C-alpha cells in the first residue's frame, strides 16, 4: 500500500461510533436445541448500549463540532458527520490518501490508530480502504464438469420434503448491487449467492444487504441484518473476507460484536473460508485464516473438488488447483480467536504463533471452479466457483433444516461438533498448502461436505 499524501478534500465524512455493551450485558449464543434468550425487540435492553454512554458520546460529538446523523441503542451505534479537520482533532489522527498495491485508489486512510472515548470500542469510516475480497472464481480453463445448484442439492442429499418455506436468508454483499437484468461485472457474486440459495431453498425469502467494501460498510450490513426486526432473518450468508491479521483490531472487534449479536438472536451465519489456500493470499510464507470465517460465531465453509456421474458422487477431494492457478480452499488455525469449547474434542493443530486457536473451516462443499456452479449473469450462462458458493449452499441447507425443525438452529457449532462425522462426507484426500486432509475434522474441509438428510436426522435427535 502506497501513501500518496495528506487528505485534502474538505467534504464532510460520515462515521460510525460503535459503543461498548451495557454493564453486565453478555450475549450467549442461541445454540441448538437452546432457543434465543432474548428476541430482537428486547435484546437491546440487555446487550445494547448504556443510555449514559450514548449521552456522553453525544457531548463528545458536540464538543468536537460533529453532527449526529442517527443512533441505535439496540445496535450500539452512533452515526456522526464532520469535516476532515474536525474528525482529525476529535480522534487524534491524520487522514491520508492511499493506493493499494494493485493500483486501486486513492482511498482515505489512517496512518495511526484513533484515540477513542472510553464508551466506544471502535470508530468506523475514517479509513475507507477496502477490507475484504470476494471469494469467488471463474475458471481460467474449460471446466471438467459443472453443476446446476439443484443437482448439488441432490448429490448432497438435501432433505427432499423441505424447501426453506417460512425462512428468511440474509445475504451480505459489499461494493456492488444488482438490477433486474443482472447488470454489471460486480454482480457475478451477487447472482451466485442469490441463485444458489434460490435454487436450493426456493421457499425461503431472500433479503440482500448491500454496503460499501469498508470496515464501516461491512459492520453495518452484518449488524443491520442481525437486528432486522422486519424481515427476521434466521440465516446469514457471507462470501467476503480478508486475512484476519490484516484487519485493525478495533474494526475486527466491532465486527465480532455484530456476529455475536447474530448468534445470540438465533441467526446462523455462514461464511466463505477463502480461495487462496492456507496462505489466504498473504506472501510471508506463513499460514493465515480468513475473517469473518475465523470467528467462532460463524460457520466457516471450505471447498472441495466434486466429481459425480449418473447422479452419484464418484470422488470428492480437497480443492487445490494452485498448480494451474485455479485457487484452493482456505483453512487453518486462528491467531486471534482461542480454541472454542466445542472444538476441544478434535485435534486442531497449534496456530503459527503457538496458541491453541479456533480451527477453520467447520464444513465444506463443492468450490473448485473447474467443477463449478452453473449460473446466469447479465442474462448469459456462466460458471463460477470458490468458497463463496459454499456459504450460500450451507445457508440453504440450514434454512431447510430450520423449516423442518420448526425453529432456527442459531449458532450450530456445538450441535455439529457433537454430531461429528456421521452427518458428513469425510474428505480424506488432498491439501490446501500447509495442511493435509485426514479422517475426521481437518483444517482443509472441516468435517467435510454435507449429507443433508443425515444432518437433519441428527439435529432432530438432539432436539428431542
Q: DSSP secondary-structure letter at 22?
A: P
316 is catalytic: no
Angle ∠(259,300,272) on CA atoms, nearest 5: 95
- Tell me which of 53, 187, 193, 442 is the catalytic residue: 193
- Check: CB of residue 396 under 8 Å from CB of residue 163: no
What grid cell was written down for 328?
Answer: 484452493
- The C-alpha atoms of residue 208 and residue 214 are separated, in whole angstroms, by 17
- Check: CB of residue 330 under 8 Å from CB of residue 273: yes
Q: Is the dihedral of CA 41, 261, 418, 394 positive or negative?
A: positive
Bridge partners (DSSP) of residue 235 are 169, 268
Bridge partners (DSSP) of residue 302 are 364
Q: What is the DSSP string of 383-421?
A: EEBSHHHHHHHHHHHHHHHHHHHTS--BS-HHHHHHHGG
388 is catalytic: yes
- The C-alpha atoms of residue 337 and residue 69 are separated, in whole angstroms, by 34
Considering only CA atoms, give the Rg of the chain: 21
- The C-alpha atoms of residue 426 and residue 193 are separated, in whole angstroms, by 25
End-to-end, the C-alpha distance of the chain in Å comes to 54
Place of cell 460533529: 66
**230 burial via Cβ count (<10 Å: 0-12, 13-18, 19+):** exposed
**10 burial via Cβ count (<10 Å: 0-12, 13-18, 19+):** exposed
Beta carbons within 8 Å of 85's beta carbon, 6+ residues apart? 10
Beta carbons within 8 Å of 38's beta carbon, 6+ residues apart? 45, 46, 47, 264, 265
- The C-alpha atoms of residue 463 and residue 69 are separated, in whole angstroms, by 45
CA distances from 159 to 164, 211, 376, 396 (A): 10, 33, 25, 11
193 is catalytic: yes
How far from the centroid of its chain's Cα atoms is residue 310's Cα? 34
Angle of helix 387-405 relative to helix 187-200, nearest 10 degrees? Answer: 30
CA distances from 167 to 32, 41, 197, 402 (A): 17, 19, 12, 7
- Tell me which of 223, 388, 442, 451 is the catalytic residue: 388
- Tell me which of 189, 195, 316, 411 is the catalytic residue: 189
Q: Which residues are catalytic?
A: 189, 193, 388
Amino acid at each position: 500500500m502506497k501513501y500518496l499524501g495528506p487528505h485534502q478534500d474538505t467534504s464532510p465524512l460520515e462515521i460510525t461510533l460503535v459503543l461498548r455493551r451495557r454493564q453486565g450485558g453478555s450475549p450467549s449464543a442461541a445454540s441448538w436445541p437452546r432457543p434465543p434468550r432474548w428476541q430482537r425487540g428486547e435484546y437491546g435492553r440487555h446487550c445494547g448500549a448504556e443510555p449514559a454512554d450514548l449521552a456522553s458520546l453525544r457531548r463528545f460529538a458536540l464538543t468536537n463540532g460533529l453532527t449526529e446523523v442517527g443512533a441505535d441503542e439496540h445496535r450500539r451505534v452512533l452515526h456522526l458527520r464532520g469535516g476532515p479537520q474536525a474528525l482529525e482533532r476529535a480522534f487524534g489522527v491524520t487522514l491520508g490518501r492511499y493506493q493499494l498495491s494493485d493500483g486501486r485508489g486513492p482511498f482515505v486512510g489512517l496512518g495511526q490508530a484513533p484515540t477513542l472515548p472510553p464508551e466506544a470500542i471502535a470508530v468506523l469510516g475514517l479509513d475507507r480502504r477496502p477490507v475484504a475480497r470476494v471469494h469467488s472464481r471463474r475458471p481460467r480453463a474449460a471446466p471438467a464438469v459443472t453443476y446446476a445448484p439443484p443437482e448439488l442439492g441432490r448429490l448432497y442429499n438435501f432433505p427432499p420434503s423441505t424447501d426453506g418455506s417460512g425462512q428468511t436468508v440474509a445475504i451480505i454483499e459489499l461494493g456492488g448491487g444488482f438490477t433486474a437484468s443482472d447488470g454489471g461485472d460486480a454482480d457475478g457474486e451477487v447472482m451466485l449467492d442469490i441463485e444458489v440459495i434460490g435454487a436450493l431453498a426456493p421457499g425461503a425469502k431472500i433479503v440482500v444487504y448491500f454496503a460499501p467494501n469498508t470496515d464501516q460498510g461491512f459492520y453495518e450490513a452484518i449488524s443491520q441484518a442481525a437486528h432486522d426486526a422486519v424481515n427476521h432473518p434466521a440465516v446469514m450468508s457471507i462470501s467476503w473476507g480478508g486475512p484476519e491479521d490484516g484487519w485493525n483490531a478495533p474494526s475486527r472487534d466491532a465486527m465480532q460484536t455484530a456476529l455475536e449479536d447474530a448468534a445470540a438472536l438465533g441467526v446462523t451465519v455462514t461464511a466463505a473460508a477463502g480461495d487462496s489456500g492456507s496462505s489466504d493470499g498473504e506472501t510471508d510464507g506463513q499460514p493465515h485464516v480468513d475473517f469473518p470465517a475465523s470467528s467462532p460465531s460463524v460457520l466457516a465453509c471450505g471447498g472441495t473438488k466434486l466429481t459425480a456421474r449418473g447422479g452419484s458422487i464418484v470422488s470428492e477431494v480437497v480443492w487445490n488447483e494452485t498448480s494451474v492457478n485455479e485457487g484452493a480452499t482456505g483453512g487453518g488455525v486462528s491467531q486471534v480467536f482461542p480454541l472454542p469449547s466445542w472444538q476441544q474434542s478434535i485435534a486442531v493443530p497449534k496456530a503459527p504463533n503457538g496458541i491453541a486457536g479456533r480451527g477453520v473451516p467447520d464444513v465444506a462443499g463443492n468450490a473448485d471452479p473447474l467443477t463449478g456452479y452453473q449460473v446466469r449473469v447479465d442474462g448469459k450462462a456462466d460458471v463460477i466457483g470458490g468458497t463463496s458458493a459454499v456459504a450460500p449452499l450451507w445457508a440453504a441447507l440450514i434454512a431447510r433444516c430450520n423449516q423442518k425443525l420448526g425453529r432456527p438452529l442459531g449458532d450450530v457449532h456445538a450441535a455439529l461438533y457433537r454430531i461429528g462425522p456421521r452427518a458428513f462426507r469425510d474428505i480424506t484426500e488432498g491439501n490446501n498448502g500447509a495442511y493435509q486432509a485426514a479422517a475426521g475434522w481437518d483444517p482443509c474441509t472441516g468435517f467435510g461436505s454435507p449429507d443433508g438428510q443425515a444432518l437433519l436426522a441428527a439435529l432432530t435427535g438432539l432436539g428431542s
